[in-house]
Amino acid sequence: MMVQLNSAHLLAVLLSRGIMYFHQYCRVKLITDKYINEGVGIGSVGYIIEIHGEGSFEYEVEFSNPTTGESLAQIVVTGKEIELAE
């Protein structure tokens, strides 16, 4: 039997598991050093440019140098690896 979830219930389930859901073009901050070899670490700020897969909660984020605007990295991260940036 397949159960349909409304968006409020789905959001509650995600939050209870420590998973944040972000929208395309959200400004986010990296909260892990997992991608240091790609040129970005904790505190790096980027924008979500793509959301991968329905229900997978993986986000393609482009990080850039805040001074020059030069692209530093474009990587796929999970909702547990980023938070909204101010």
40 located within any domain: yes
Cα–Cα distance between 56 and 78 in angstroms, integer?
8
Total domains in the fold of the chain? 1
Structure tokens at 27: 């400004």
pLDDT in tens, 5-52: 555 665 566 566 666 678 899 999 999 999 999 999 999 999 999 998
- Higher-scoring residue by pLDDT: 84, 53: 84
Assigned token pair, 84: 């909204």
45 is a domain residue? yes
Q: Let me know if residue 15 belongs to a domain.
A: yes
Residue 2 lies in a domain: no
**33 DSSP 8-state letter:** S
The pTM (predicted TM-score) of the whole model is 0.76
Question: Does some domain include residue 1?
Answer: no
Q: What is the CATH number of the domain that holds 73?
A: 2.30.30.30
Residue-level pLDDT at 75: 97
Domain range spanning residue 19?
7-84
Say if CB 22 and CB 45 are below 8 A apart. no
